[in-house]
Amino acid sequence: MPSSPHRRRLLLLPLLVAAAALWGPLPAGAGAATCKVWLVQSIPTDMPRLRRVPGVLSTGDVLQWLSGNATKSLDILAQYWQFLAQPNNPKSGDYGYSDSDMKRFGADEGHRVYKALENAADRFAPDFDQESADLAAGRPNVQNVTLLFEKWWGSGVVHAKVGISDKKDVYIGSANNDWKSLTQVKELGIYFADCPQIAKTVEVYFQNLWSLSALNSTTYTKVAWDKPWQVSRKVPCWSHFLQPKERCRSPIPPSVDIPYTDGYPSLSNPEMIDVPFETPGYKKSTQEHYLSYLSFAPPEVTFGKFQADEQGWVDTIKSVKVGGIVVFSKNATVRLIVAYWTHFIPNTENYLKSLLYSNIVCASSKYNHCGGKVEIKYYMVPGYNETGPALSQGGAATGNRYPGFTRVDHGKYAVCDVRANIGTSNLIWDYFYTTAGASFGTYSPSTVSQLQDIFDADWYSPYTVPVEPLEASS
């Protein structure tokens, strides 16, 4: 959720006892514990008519546990930091709200997460990056770096929201390191406990981004012609958007070496994670043995046989049972929930109405034999149009009822009949090509079913409004 130039920066905060220990062998017995997986949500206050899905954890609790349980290392990818509310700062979206307002908003939840982080840093040892700088100050075992994606890709941010504790517990989701993401923004994520194989893979991605922060981008970037998007743009010099003879050797673990293609290639056989896990939050906890996967963005920082983040989303859509194009060939109903808030982009509605027009095309001929359809709803969190500081910088009342950049559905996930994908990327092309993101996907029926339940709770809630289609031509 961009709001200021500071949000164009990304902070990578690893709290490490010793960097050398990061890549050492797992301790004996580390893999003996059963991997457990929970879905995670933030639900804004003042939404009493939204049905709660049993067994889903709260984001605030999970972020506190990641820090509270860490004894050796804690690695965090964050777009910006504001766990501590700033109602007295005229430049803050929290400005002018009273103590009772902040209590009603749940701002204390962010303070508890920050204290857990602070305690973790001590055990080991409103500028939007001030909190991470404060955590690192005076603690030689805590490192804090800022990675500017603009220097590597010409635009973009580290948009991934990832936490890794003791190389075995992981959070991946949409929640920013912001108190508002815990109680004023609707978020969706996934939490892994005692899952060293998953943590190890995500660590490689973290380390790749960390390595970029120490490299001279001028030395390692070139301009490539991106044919699918019809733009010339800056890319790392090992990018597959460059002809092989133009590429440099990657200073980080490279993706699979393949010939130049017009667009970034998908993997025909991406790496799958074959780890049995329990889903304690879903009805009866049973150990399941279904394939899962991790995917990452941008493509230049993927590695081994792990797929690019865009492919994870596309493959999830294609996984709807048998056929080709989802609506026309598979006769599937495609439902989209789109966030509507103060910062809604007006052109979005024209795009959505164009998607809805496919229903008319589908039914335009008896020879199409088409039974699929697209349905789209806006998600309108109560108070979405009443956000911002309570006071102007001049001290005048604004009439706003909630802090700035809140009251929005911020989750990024997809679920079909057989597969679920939970990620951090907005559905805009440059989030997959110039912005850091991560996704976890799985064929686990328990996770698929519970995520579907979360979607259905939103879809049938009074907080969603159908997008009206374009009128058919006479």
Return the CATH number at 195.
3.30.870.10
With beta carbons less than 8 A apart as the criterion, state whether 44 and 92 touch: no
Token pair of 127 as six digits? 């500028």
- Supply the pLDDT for residue 284: 65
Radius of gyration of the chain (CA): 22
Could you tell me the sign of the dihedral formed by the alpha carbons of 2, 3, 6, 11, in that order? negative
Can you give the residue range of the structural domain that contains 190? 5-19+34-318+413-457
With beta carbons less than 8 A apart as the criterion, state whether 158 and 81 touch: no
With beta carbons less than 8 A apart as the criterion, state whether 198 and 273 touch: yes
The SS3 assignment for 311 reads: helix
**143 part of a folded domain:** yes
**359 part of a folded domain:** no
- Supply the pLDDT for residue 11: 43
- Supply the pLDDT for residue 22: 32
With beta carbons less than 8 A apart as the criterion, state whether 215 and 227 touch: no
- Supply the pLDDT for residue 227: 87
- How many domains, in total, are found in the chain? 1
Nearest alpha-carbon partner for 467 in 334, 343, 365:
334
**268 part of a folded domain:** yes
**385 part of a folded domain:** no
- Supply the pLDDT for residue 9: 33
**371 part of a folded domain:** no
- Paired with 42 in beta bridges are 187
Cα–Cα distance measured from residue 61 to residue 67, given in angstroms and rounded to the nearest whole number: 10
**366 part of a folded domain:** no
In a structure prediction context, what are the per-residue pLDDT tens digits for the chain, which is 474 residues long?
A: 443 333 333 344 444 333 323 333 333 334 457 899 999 999 999 999 999 999 999 999 999 999 999 999 999 999 989 999 999 999 999 999 999 999 999 999 999 999 999 998 888 654 556 777 787 777 877 788 889 999 999 999 999 999 999 999 999 999 999 999 999 999 999 999 999 999 999 999 999 999 999 999 999 999 999 888 899 999 999 998 998 899 999 999 876 666 677 777 788 888 899 889 999 998 766 677 899 999 999 999 988 889 999 999 999 998 987 544 577 767 889 999 999 999 999 889 999 999 999 888 888 877 777 888 899 999 999 999 999 999 999 999 999 999 999 999 999 999 999 999 999 999 999 999 999 999 999 999 999 999 999 999 999 999 999 999 887 554
Cβ neighbours, 10 Å, residue 471: 9
With beta carbons less than 8 A apart as the criterion, state whether 236 and 220 touch: yes
Token pair of 69 as six digits? 């349980």
- Supply the pLDDT for residue 111: 97
Q: Would strands 73-78 and 162-165 be described as parallel, antiparallel, or unpaired?
A: antiparallel
**335 part of a folded domain:** no
Cα–Cα distance measured from residue 404 to residue 72, given in angstroms and rounded to the nearest whole number: 36
- Supply the pLDDT for residue 125: 56
Could you tell me the sign of the dihedral formed by the alpha carbons of 171, 176, 179, 184, in that order? negative
Cα–Cα distance measured from residue 165 to residue 79, given in angstroms and rounded to the nearest whole number: 18
The enclosing H or E element of 415 equals strand 413-415
- Supply the pLDDT for residue 450: 96
Cα–Cα distance measured from residue 159 to residue 302, given in angstroms and rounded to the nearest whole number: 15
Cβ neighbours, 10 Å, residue 24: 9
Write the DSSP assignment of 59-91 as a string of letters: HHHHHHHHHHH-SSEEEEEES-EE-S--TT-TT
Which value, to the nearest 10 degrees, does the dihedral of the CA atoms of residues 404, 75, 421, 408 take?
Answer: -10
- Supply the pLDDT for residue 323: 47
Which residue's structure tokens are 């973290």? 206
